[in-house]
Amino acid sequence: MGHERRFNPEHVGKLEAPERKEQFPVGVILDAAGIEEGMNVADIGSGSGYFTLPLARRAAPGKVYAVDPSPALLEVVRGKLAQAELHSPGPPSNVELVLGEGEASGLPDSWCDVIFLSAVWHELESTEAALREFDRIALPEAKLVVVDWRPEAPSPPGPPTKHRVAHTDLETALERAGWTVVLSAVVTDWTYMVVAER
């Protein structure tokens, strides 16, 4: 069920715009997140798959679950997978598409090494419910990686300022839920990232 903070799939072009690389530099973020070969990753709110394929390349042969509440956006990812030559020849084999959301991912218990959210935290209807879900799907040594829009950055681009979450508020929510913040950093003029461990 949609709500006012959730990304509208009709605006998928924004997720693929050239400036996205400046706002969400994939290599910098995945390096800082410590995504490595063999990790199993939950890409929560995968959208158009902007991070899904890079995550799959880094984590292979580990599995990446692309989780999104929009069937239309999952179809966009499916199309990218069909075109990609992740493991030449043929499409990537370590990505699975899942209709779900942060609060109800549909993923197995105690499964993933990394829970990854890009521009999703501010959209969650209940961060408490999402954190309970992350606790359920995470392995004992799992990491939670959150990349989101800085409240002090001008809007547009990104969501309205009133929907954005300060990194300090995010850190407090994670610590209360039993996660330990190990990295909190400004990524670009528009975005920040927080990495926490169980």
CA 81/CA 67 separation, integer angstroms:
15
> In the chain, what are the domains?
9-15+22-197 (3.40.50.150)
pTM to 2 decimal places? 0.90
* Single-letter code of the amino acid located at 140: P
pLDDT class of 12 with cuts at 50, 70, 90: low
- Write the pLDDT tens digit of every residue in 129-185: 999 999 999 999 999 999 999 999 987 888 999 999 999 999 999 999 999 999 999
CA 136/CA 120 separation, integer angstroms:
19
Distances (CA, A) of 89 to 37, 82, 86, 109: 19, 11, 8, 32
- DSSP codes, 42-54: EEET-TTTTTHHH
- Write the pLDDT tens digit of every residue in 53-67: 999 999 999 999 999
Per the structure block, which two tokens stand in for 198? 């169980």
DSSP-H helix ranges across 84-183: 127-137, 167-176
- Write the pLDDT tens digit of every residue in 88-104: 555 568 999 999 999 99
